Homo-oligomer: A and B are copies of this chain.
């Protein structure tokens, strides 16, 4: 049954598990590539399959604006629309409304905003965001939350958390009344969508704890930690994640939104996080920044112009086994589209390999440091 989270092995706080969905089981800890507009920029779906991607993230805000949720629903849902029959998660749109849209007016009811594309006026509420996600038909959908800004005072974080909780209840109620409307359920006799709640609470552990406890009372099939990686020091992120996890049920999936570097996703898995997403591997790739077992490679650097070696000698991906650093540097220097395509494929391979090693380490009972590189880059969300 979708949502029947199966933990197979523990290694301290880290968990090896499977999240069954209507489009296949997702092995966790998992990194979810970001496919904002129902495409991982530049990468054909067949290549994502070769990379053994089991779940993608798509952005509700972007898909709501283009091509529109009704259109996607009428065409059979996101999976059929994008030719992808593995799992998809959609965010709620809240993060983008608060980061991309302009002229926001926040009320108890929801958020009025103008599109970042054409300035047109729109309104999202818990009900509307849930309805859109039901129409899109992703396997995992997210409650509409307010992503608390950083820094925020305690009182502000508390108010924002309370709003997120009231909205979470409205999302849950709307979802329970309308979940049967999701497209493509006929294709998935084993069940439908899963709605996850999101923990907010700023950088205040006790506010986070309160939010987590009251969300758990609402009994979601999974819980996300939102509102992190918003500019705070990394040590604080770790602390908030660790302290929040104490208040989330051990038998449900835990999703940390919008992180991180290869090193960080290993550390979050160690803390007990099951799911992560980040635009970092794909966005950095498009800017020529590549993650390898030997550290970061800025492929535009002149020193790679005559480097006939593979990008990452330890990587078995289709880019590292075929092309040289010199060729990748040439493509990037010439602004060739293939640069972005190949760079993205490699960075995703690196992230997915990293998580594969994490899962292996957990299964062997020895969660060694599995990942690459040295320095930290911060996190990013589209």
Contacts and interface: CB of A to CB of B under 8 A. Distances in A.
B338 A44 contact: yes
Interface in A68-86: 71, 74-76, 81-83
A342 B331 CA distance: 19
Contacts of A40: 338
A113 to B, nearest CB: 19
A288 B66 CA distance: 18
B74 A330 contact: no
Contact of A337 (B45, B47, B340): B340
Nearest to A339: B39
A83 B322 contact: yes
A334 B58 CA distance: 14
Interface in A278-326: 305-306, 308, 318, 322-324, 326
A364 to B, nearest CB: 33
Contacts of A38: 327, 330
Contacts of A327: 38, 81-83
A245 to B, nearest CB: 36
Interface string A42-56: 111111000000000
A74 B330 CA distance: 14
A10 interface: no
A67 interface: yes
A39 B338 contact: yes
Interface string A7-46: 0000000000000000000000000000001111111111
B42 A326 contact: no
Interface of A: 37-47, 66-67, 71, 74-76, 81-83, 305-306, 308, 318, 322-324, 326-327, 330-331, 333-334, 336-338, 340-342, 345
7 contacts: A44-B338, A46-B318, A66-B333, A75-B306, A81-B324, A83-B323, A83-B324
